[in-house]
Amino acid sequence: MKWNIPNLKELEDILWRCTACGTCKEAYEYGPPSVSSPICPAGEEFGFEGFLSSRGKIAFARGILSGDLGWNEALIDAIYKCNVCGGCQSQCELDHKPFIPEIIEAMRRKIVADGVGPMPKQKVIAQSLNSYDNPYQGPRRVRLDWTRPFKKQGKPIKNILEEPAPILYYVGCTGGYNVPVRVVPQATASIFNKLGLDFGILGESEICCGSTAMRLGDVGAFQRVAESNLELFRKLHDEKGLKTIVTSCAGCYRAFMKDYPMAEEYDRMMEGIRVIHTSQFLYDLYMSGQLKFTESLPWKVTYHDPCHAGRHLTKFIIDKDGTQLWAGAYVKLDDKDCLYDIPRQLLKAIPGIDLREMRRIKANSYCCGGGGGVMTGYNDWAARNAGIRIQEGMETGADQMVSICPFCHYNLNQGSQGIGSKMKLYDLTELIDKVLPEKVS
């Protein structure tokens, strides 16, 4: 399968569009009243320019391409000390804006291609992907452990490889293997059961979406699993009636929506198949009247926008041929795919929920600190950063935090424990499952 994934050299002209103005360093909204906050977790933690926002990362890229910077442990470490959260991208207004995460990941791809990275702890991910098809070094049979309660209740979940189903619930590795996060697929499957949906899972045969490998620059590992998944999805469509892939993982969703389309055969492989995040899927059911909340949940909550289900899904309008502004100009953005309002509307629809907003939300959301390989490579820092976000949540007066990403789920709960907070991170599906009656007519 042919992929159009740019290398750093191919992005050179684009990264020279950066003026080093530093607008990327701070989340800012004019208002009035204006709101200003730090946006870069690495900048907050490590301080030096270079670590801070896209201005710093582009300095590294320029230095690498000019030959002023050669590979050494400290530089490689600095390039991996980034969540690739896209917070800096949200601030930028220049022509390289659409490519900022791509530039950072292209540096990582060069690191991997040159055989000098990723960081030691992150190498385990690549090894695990090769050995187990997941980044958690988990045996394939463990992937199904989350389904045990359903078996016990006599409601085993259908394996779509064995029985046809129009809906594939793609669980994702974090929901499958990360024990504290198994509540996410459990709540999701419980809701689907209550709604009487005909859905299936891939069971032990599910393999990683490749997101983690892609974020770390291991393009080979990504392509291997991505191609395998695309071929499987095609087969399931043709042979098992698959029409919709639902995922509750923001990372998988981002991979399917943004990374997989870089395959030239993506359109052919995915023809007739829709990929949708659980929150959007449930929202559509809510709007059509199939999902009704009858019970109350009197919780004060705040909502955390995951990077991968939020700003990472922004589409950028670029003047490719120079007919609008000039060739290569960033014209405007389209954020209708970003899951900003949908989770909030679902939350507000739950009787009793009191939603309190944090200072940094939506495109200016402050990353939990887990993404971009940081949770694996720099676990302490990831948890510390999550503690900062939890603190921000607590300042709203909310008791709990809600999100739609298993990665954020794990990391923010770690962060909460780290600062001794009672605030817990819940997935939106956990709340919905609590208020959804057992049998929906």
Residue 268 CB-half CA count within 13 A:
7
Question: Distance (Å, rounded) from C-alpha 379 to C-alpha 254?
Answer: 22
135 binds another protein (CB under 8 A): no
β-pair partners for 134:
none
Question: Distance (Å, rounded) from C-alpha 348 to C-alpha 340?
Answer: 13
Q: Pick the closer one to another protein by CB: 18 or 262.
A: 18
- With contacts defined by CB under 8 A, name the span among 19-27, 169-177, 276-284, 386-394 that binds another protein: 19-27
50 binds another protein (CB under 8 A): yes
Q: Pick the closer one to another protein by CB: 60 or 260.
A: 60
- With contacts defined by CB under 8 A, name the span among 32-40, 174-182, 218-226, 338-346 that binds another protein: 32-40
- With contacts defined by CB under 8 A, name the span among 63-71, 100-108, 246-254, 417-425 that binds another protein: 63-71
Binding residues for another protein, rule CB under 8 A, total: 46
In sequence order, what DSSP letters do the residues of 23-39 get, joined into one string?
Answer: GGGEEEE--SSPEEEE-
92 binds another protein (CB under 8 A): yes
Q: How far is the CB of 264 from another protein (least distance, A)?
A: 27
166 binds another protein (CB under 8 A): no
Beta strands per DSSP E along 352-404: 354-356, 400-403
- With contacts defined by CB under 8 A, name the span among 20-28, 361-369, 401-409, 427-435 that binds another protein: 20-28
If you search the block for the tokens 């676990």, which residue do you land on? 379
267 binds another protein (CB under 8 A): no
142 binds another protein (CB under 8 A): no
Applying CB under 8 A, among 8, 11, 26, 350 the residue interacting with another protein is 26
Q: How far is the CB of 326 from another protein (least distance, A)?
A: 6
Q: Identify which of 72, 68, 143 has the alpha carbon closest to the alpha carbon of residue 111.
A: 72
Q: Pick the closer one to another protein by CB: 1 or 325.
A: 325
CA torsion 391-396-401-407 (nearest 10°) is -50
**Diameter of the chain by CA atoms?**
67
Question: Distance (Å, rounded) from C-alpha 136 to C-alpha 208?
Answer: 10
Q: Identify which of 50, 4, 81 has the alpha carbon closest to the alpha carbon of residue 266.
A: 4
Restricting to residues 309-348, name those near another protein by CB under 8 A. 325-326, 329
- Distance, C-alpha 266 to centroid of its chain: 20
Q: Pick the closer one to another protein by CB: 91 or 122.
A: 91
67 binds another protein (CB under 8 A): yes
The DSSP output letter for 201 is B
Q: Pick the closer one to another protein by CB: 89 or 128.
A: 89
Q: Identify which of 355, 346, 361 has the alpha carbon closest to the alpha carbon of residue 401.
A: 355
Reading the block at residue 45, the tokens are 């933690």
In the complex, which residues of this chain contact another protein (CB under 8 A)?
13, 16-26, 28, 30-37, 46-50, 56, 59-60, 63, 66-69, 72, 74-75, 78, 91-95, 325-326, 329
